[in-house]
Chains A and B, each alone.
Chain A
């Protein structure tokens, strides 16, 4: 069974600082990987996805993620965060041909002035 581990439940950071949100997955076969963002009292929005090809994936709002097959990781990064980036971030995994995504437990990013 596929699984996703988000290593940090909360990440506090100051505005304009860089941030990395960590995600590890368990699978020995091909994977599709996703990062979603959930702003307070809203649904989830897709930030970026990795299907194949270049291991560095760029998404919306200045976020990017790097797929590392040997480390089975897909960490999310942003070089300079804004207050408006305060939200919960979810990593998700699936495989080609699978019908569903499996989500991690989420990481709350708290950006303060």
Chain B
């Protein structure tokens, strides 16, 4: 049971570099989410995809783009990384109704220097 798989687990970027964080789920879930976690700030929603083919902004979308590649995969792209994007990024998925809650990946720890 893989659940939600995130790659990479760790990454160091220089300011201005770009990268894509990958997320895949094998539970046939309709909805997928990207959150960032910062000390004292809890989890803040960056983008989400309620179903294949749709994406919507969350609370903190600036500086990010997403792609729902297919039902399984939802990627997060940083086009020009900034130190303020240093964070732990979590991908999550749900069956389509939030009454089931989310299943989370193990996270990507990103440092921008």
Contacts and interface: CB of A to CB of B under 8 A. Distances in A.
| Chains A and B come from one and the same complex | yes
Interface in B71-108: 90, 92, 98-99, 101-102, 104-107
Given A43-B90, A43-B107, A105 B40 contact: yes
Given A42-B106, A43-B90, A44-B104, A103 B43 contact: yes
Taking chain B's interface residues, is the majority helix, strand, or loop, or is none over half, making it mixed? strand
Interface residues of A, number: 25
B90 A101 contact: no
B58 interface: yes
A32 B99 contact: yes
A106 B33 CA distance: 19
Interface string A80-106: 000000000010101010111111111
B48 A100 contact: yes
A34 interface: yes
Contact of B45 (A6, A49, A100): A100
B78 to A, nearest CB: 20
The 8 closest A-B pairs by CB, nearest first: A105-B42, A43-B104, A103-B43, A94-B98, A44-B104, A43-B106, A99-B50, A103-B42
Interface of B: 4, 31, 33, 35, 40-45, 48, 50, 56, 58, 90, 92, 98-99, 101-102, 104-107
